[in-house]
A and B are shown apart, each in its own frame.
Chain A
Amino acid sequence: MPPEDMGKLSDKLRLTFAVSTVICVLALAISPLKDFRAEWKHYKRWFVKYAQGRPDTKKLLADYSPSIDQVWLPGMNVTDRCTTCHQGIAQPSLSDASVPQPFRAHPPIPHNVRDWGCSICHRGQGPATEVAEAHETTLAWEQPILPAHFLQASCGSCHQTDLKETPQLARGRELLTHLNCQACHKLNNLDRPTLGPDLSSIGYKLTREWIYKWLKEPRTILDKDGNATVNGYENEDEPRMPKFRLKEDEIRALSAFLSAQKAKPIEKYKINPAVVAAWSKKPDLLSQGELRFRQMMCTTCHSLAVTRAGETKMIGGNIGPELTKVGSKVNEEWLVAWLWNPKGYLEHSNMPRYGWSDEDLYKVSQYVMNKLTDTDLLTNVPQLGAATEDEVKTGKRLFAEKGCASCHALSGIAPQKDFGPDLTALGAKNASELEFSKAKIEHNLVSYLQAKLQDPASVNPAARMPQYNWEQADLDAVTTALLSQTGPAPTSALQHLVVPRKDASFQPVGTFAEIYERYKCYACHRFNGYGGTLAPDLSYEGSRAQKKWIADFLKNPQTIRPTLILRMPQFNMSDKDAAITAEYLSIAVQKPGVDPESVDSRQFSPAMISMGKQLYEVKYQCQSCHTIGGTGGYVGPNLNNAGNWLTPGWIEAWLRNPQALQPDTIEPRRNLTEDEIRALTAYLMTLRTGIQAQTTKSAARAHLLVQGAGR
């Protein structure tokens, strides 16, 4: 470069400088322009415009600021900018469905958004300021918003007890328990499952052929066209044993192994030969057996398939197994021994021990063996013959490999814990942590869970998980319950908010403990939160019912509610057992604060009684729900025998505040004065007409039974 040119800029350099300046200025202009056009600002401006078009503009715009709004809760790990666009969530006037989203008000919930933020329940990316980033899966964020349909899962992350507001979650948890998922998977806060049958002595009960059939098709029924419907009837009482994908040789080996299991010899019961001789020739043996089967309320726990007008329906309960074809399943000697004493074969069975007479035992067992049968049940099963040593060995290996020991006890094989993956943090998993294989589904947690539950092999061809047969509502419920398993809370503040599940237990003592265990009261009734839900909760029975009434009821159960079907079996309880039970219940299971002796029925005057009748019939019209005599409603219990049934102390406490005694009762709490309460109690205590027509008939039946039993 010549020295005179030093300090002078060449044209070329000038041009480069000019161009780069222009580009620089333009590039700097992009940023404010982009910021002006930011998505959230669009919603901010829209909201102002929307509010100005409404009469309550001032109120809607009181808190308005043109910047990003956020709920910041450091202790709970919440930085939610959702309110930047969802500006109307706390404005009651915007609750109508015609208000466009994102401005609609949040429906009223027990939690305040200011204290909780949004993403704790709805998930999604709280700090995001773009619609897609906040709601959907992006490269950097794999927790998309939870579909509203499964939102109850979020309640379940903290509320480990069931809430009445979340029926879908409660149903899902119930199914996880009922289907024994915890046998293979680790799950948070679910009751310990009841196990599948103990198979230690299964060889006495079943033939190898039946086991083969069951493994191939757990529960089979032929429809009217003769096609086999595998895995149950189309109703909610599915068998709990799911369908495993087993190969032919595996089924052969397992059936061989199981039919060789005879660990503990059964205690045989010999029915009196005179009874057998007398009854075996009677033409009505089987119909009498059926009658007794029905009278003993076997269908309270067991179901039978009944075909009426070409339609097959399941009638009965689901506490015990379905019995439609049990006669083609079990060995007769085993059946008699089982009916006589269920505990002799299966220690943890829920089947009560009845006080059988030989005559009844013979009639019912003959009915079961000869009527509840299906001659075609084993037609497609090959003759398997005796089990070879090789088959038994393979079967034993398979029993462990397939995870059978997770549900079934078998002597000599240790139960397997945590056979399947740990699911305690499943609900918080990212989509990239899941295996989708070649399944053509959306890559997110909800669709993964639904695909896996419906067909485990669709997302993992090597899955060991068996096949279940869900109805859509149950599938959604289980998905919700699994989504609620989000593992330990992310921060200590949230950990502190977890509402733990209450431990329920009821352990009676003394002679009653033995009665309670023999008749398995807890299979249907609930005591202090422990037990079944089929029959009334008896936690406060001692405060509610009179002792004599309890004893009479146990001897001769009747329904009290007009719409209910009698389900309580008559156990042929001895007078002594009934008296002990009544005594125990009336002393030990009391509601604190309700004294059965607090009201003296001798002070009831005829004036009070007639005032009570007037209140009952005219002022409060209790007959809309309760029946007295032959008239009245079907909703509440029948009050015909209230004077013999209820304690006056209970009636008064109940009229004062029914929900205090039974929180979910539908009887409304009313503004009754103490005088009115006393008068109504006086009137109800006069109702002692009872259910005599029925009582006489059943008493006669009970009397005959006792004679038949020779007691």
Chain B
Amino acid sequence: MRSKPLMMLALPLASILCVLSLSGCKKAAAVVTPEQAFGVYDTEPDWNDSTKLISLGYQQSQGKRVFYQYCVWCHADATPAGPSNRSNLTPVPPLMNDGEKVNGESDEYMQNIIALGGSALGKSAMMPPYGKTLSAEEITAVIAFSRAIAQPPYQKPGRPGSQYTGKQ
């Protein structure tokens, strides 16, 4: 049969066509990751090294806003108005980025001390309760912000026996 060699020609032709059309979609799939392309929502200078910027997501940046309105006066060494009230207080309140003091506390503990105040948890009454002033979202956000700026960096506690133990 004369048809055979022609068939032999047609097959690779078709497969080339096929490969070409497939490679078209492969090319489109090669895109940059969203983080690289679309940037971050907000940034906060590192409290220990002002040239270093910490990138913040939406929730953390809302926490930053709450922090600089309500918490900064006693939980930072510099405030938007200048002097800090921190040195006036005994016991001295922890800095919000002090990982050594704050990293060990669970999110639930942080929520409680912000919402109920120091006296409810057997700590100094100098820390007033903000549960009726801030919404639950705002409290979660401010905790997320303090986790983001913590030095040494905060690591999520891992669940023992699970494969989802904290990232290193």
B contacts with A, residue count (CB < 8 A): 61
Interface contact A27-B74, CB-CB below 8 Å: no
| In the complex with contacts A14-B3, A668-B133, A624-B126 CB distance below 8 A | yes
Residues 88-119 of chain B, each 1 if its beta carbon lies under 8 Å from chain A, else 0: 11000000000000000000000000000101
Interface contact A634-B125, CB-CB below 8 Å: no
Interface contact A149-B40, CB-CB below 8 Å: yes
Interface contact B65-A634, CB-CB below 8 Å: no
CB distance from A694 to the nearest CB of B (A): 19
| In the complex with contacts A34-B22, A108-B59, A147-B38, A39-B29 CB distance below 8 A | yes
Flag the segment in A127-135, A424-432, A566-574 that touches B: A127-135
Interface contact B70-A148, CB-CB below 8 Å: no
B70: contacting residue among A11, A27, A42, A666, CB under 8 A: A666
A324–B14 CA distance with the chains assembled, in angstroms: 81
- The verdict on A141 contacting chain B, using a C-beta distance below 8 Å, is no
Provide the residues of chain B in CB contact with A620, threshold 8 Å: 125, 128
Residue of chain A at shortest CB distance from B88: A633
- The verdict on B160 contacting chain A, using a C-beta distance below 8 Å, is no
Provide the residues of chain B in CB contact with A168, threshold 8 Å: 42
Interface contact B41-A149, CB-CB below 8 Å: yes
Residue of chain B at shortest CB distance from A165: B62
Provide the residues of chain A in CB contact with B28, threshold 8 Å: 39, 130-133
A633–B90 CA distance with the chains assembled, in angstroms: 11
Which chain A residues numbered 1 to 49 have a C-beta less than 8 Å away from chain B? 11-12, 14-15, 18-19, 22-23, 26-27, 29-30, 33-34, 37-39, 42
Provide the residues of chain A in CB contact with B58, threshold 8 Å: 107, 109, 151
Provide the residues of chain B in CB contact with A669, threshold 8 Å: 132-133
Residue of chain A at shortest CB distance from B125: A621
CB distance from B56 to the nearest CB of A (A): 10
- The verdict on B122 contacting chain A, using a C-beta distance below 8 Å, is no
| In the complex with contacts A19-B6, A620-B125, A148-B38 CB distance below 8 A | yes
Provide the residues of chain A in CB contact with B140, threshold 8 Å: 108
Interface contact A635-B38, CB-CB below 8 Å: no
| In the complex with contacts A26-B18, A107-B57, A668-B25 CB distance below 8 A | no
Residue of chain A at shortest CB distance from B60: A107
Interface contact B34-A22, CB-CB below 8 Å: no
CB distance from B72 to the nearest CB of A (A): 10
Interface contact B39-A147, CB-CB below 8 Å: yes
Provide the residues of chain B in CB contact with A38, threshold 8 Å: 25
CB distance from B46 to the nearest CB of A (A): 17
Which chain A residues numbered 624 to 682 have a C-beta less than 8 Å away from chain B? 624-625, 632-635, 658-659, 664, 666, 668-671
Residue of chain B at shortest CB distance from A152: B41
A27–B89 CA distance with the chains assembled, in angstroms: 79
- The verdict on A54 contacting chain B, using a C-beta distance below 8 Å, is yes
A55–B159 CA distance with the chains assembled, in angstroms: 12
Provide the residues of chain B in CB contact with A132, threshold 8 Å: 28, 31
A102–B38 CA distance with the chains assembled, in angstroms: 13
Which chain B residues numbered 34 to 75 have a C-beta less than 8 Å away from chain A? 34-35, 37-42, 57-59, 62, 65, 69-70, 73-74
CB distance from B59 to the nearest CB of A (A): 4
Residue of chain B at shortest CB distance from A149: B39
Interface contact A148-B125, CB-CB below 8 Å: no
Provide the residues of chain B in CB contact with A27, threshold 8 Å: 14, 17
Residue of chain A at shortest CB distance from B79: A563
A632–B73 CA distance with the chains assembled, in angstroms: 13
A670–B127 CA distance with the chains assembled, in angstroms: 12
Which chain B residues numbered 118 to 168 have a C-beta less than 8 Å away from chain A? 119, 124-130, 132-133, 137, 140, 156, 162-164, 167
Residue of chain B at shortest CB distance from A130: B28
A668: contacting residue among B3, B88, B132, B156, CB under 8 A: B132
Provide the residues of chain B in CB contact with A135, threshold 8 Å: 31, 34, 37-38
Interface contact B40-A148, CB-CB below 8 Å: yes
| In the complex with contacts A23-B14, A26-B15, A625-B73, A633-B89 CB distance below 8 A | yes
Interface contact B7-A18, CB-CB below 8 Å: yes
CB distance from A91 to the nearest CB of B (A): 15
A422–B50 CA distance with the chains assembled, in angstroms: 40
A116–B41 CA distance with the chains assembled, in angstroms: 20
Interface contact B65-A164, CB-CB below 8 Å: yes
Interface contact B125-A619, CB-CB below 8 Å: yes
B34: contacting residue among A33, A54, A102, CB under 8 A: A102
Provide the residues of chain A in CB contact with B156, threshold 8 Å: 96
A131–B32 CA distance with the chains assembled, in angstroms: 10
Provide the residues of chain A in CB contact with B137, threshold 8 Å: 108
A22: contacting residue among B7, B33, B81, B126, CB under 8 A: B7
A37–B73 CA distance with the chains assembled, in angstroms: 56
| In the complex with contacts A26-B15, A634-B88, A33-B7 CB distance below 8 A | no
A109–B88 CA distance with the chains assembled, in angstroms: 37
- The verdict on A145 contacting chain B, using a C-beta distance below 8 Å, is yes
CB distance from A25 to the nearest CB of B (A): 9
| In the complex with contacts A96-B156, A98-B167, A624-B128, A30-B18 CB distance below 8 A | yes
| In the complex with contacts A22-B7, A27-B17, A666-B73 CB distance below 8 A | yes
CB distance from B106 to the nearest CB of A (A): 15
- The verdict on A386 contacting chain B, using a C-beta distance below 8 Å, is no
Interface contact B38-A167, CB-CB below 8 Å: no
Provide the residues of chain A in CB contact with B17, threshold 8 Å: 23, 26-27, 30
Provide the residues of chain A in CB contact with B82, threshold 8 Å: 563
B39: contacting residue among A14, A26, A148, CB under 8 A: A148
Provide the residues of chain B in CB contact with A632, threshold 8 Å: 88
B18: contacting residue among A19, A29, A165, A563, CB under 8 A: A29
Provide the residues of chain B in CB contact with A55, threshold 8 Å: 162, 164
Question: Which residue, of A136, A148, A625, has the highest number of chain B Cβ atoms within 10 A?
Answer: A148
- The verdict on A564 contacting chain B, using a C-beta distance below 8 Å, is yes
Interface contact B33-A101, CB-CB below 8 Å: yes
Provide the residues of chain A in CB contact with B126, threshold 8 Å: 621, 624
A659–B130 CA distance with the chains assembled, in angstroms: 12
A377–B40 CA distance with the chains assembled, in angstroms: 45
A33–B21 CA distance with the chains assembled, in angstroms: 10
Residue of chain A at shortest CB distance from B2: A11
A149–B57 CA distance with the chains assembled, in angstroms: 10
Provide the residues of chain B in CB contact with A42, threshold 8 Å: 29
Interface contact A54-B164, CB-CB below 8 Å: yes
CB distance from A57 to the nearest CB of B (A): 13
Which chain A residues numbered 606 to 631 have a C-beta less than 8 Å away from chain B? 618-621, 624-625
| In the complex with contacts A39-B29, A101-B35, A135-B37, A633-B85 CB distance below 8 A | yes
- The 23 listed contacts between A and B (C-beta, < 8 Å) are A11-B2, A15-B6, A18-B7, A19-B6, A19-B7, A22-B14, A23-B10, A26-B17, A33-B22, A37-B25, A54-B164, A108-B140, A131-B31, A135-B34, A165-B62, A620-B128, A621-B125, A624-B127, A632-B88, A634-B73, A635-B73, A666-B70, A671-B129
Seen from chain B, the residues whose Cβ lies within 8 Å of a Cβ on chain A are 1-3, 6-7, 10-11, 13-15, 17-18, 21-22, 25, 28-29, 31, 33-35, 37-42, 57-59, 62, 65, 69-70, 73-74, 81-85, 88-89, 117, 119, 124-130, 132-133, 137, 140, 156, 162-164, 167
What are the nearest 5 A-B pairs in CB distance?
Answer: A624-B126, A15-B3, A26-B14, A669-B132, A107-B58
Q: A27-B14, A30-B22 are in contact. List 6 more A-B contacts (CB 8 A).
A: A108-B137, A131-B31, A633-B74, A634-B84, A664-B69, A668-B130
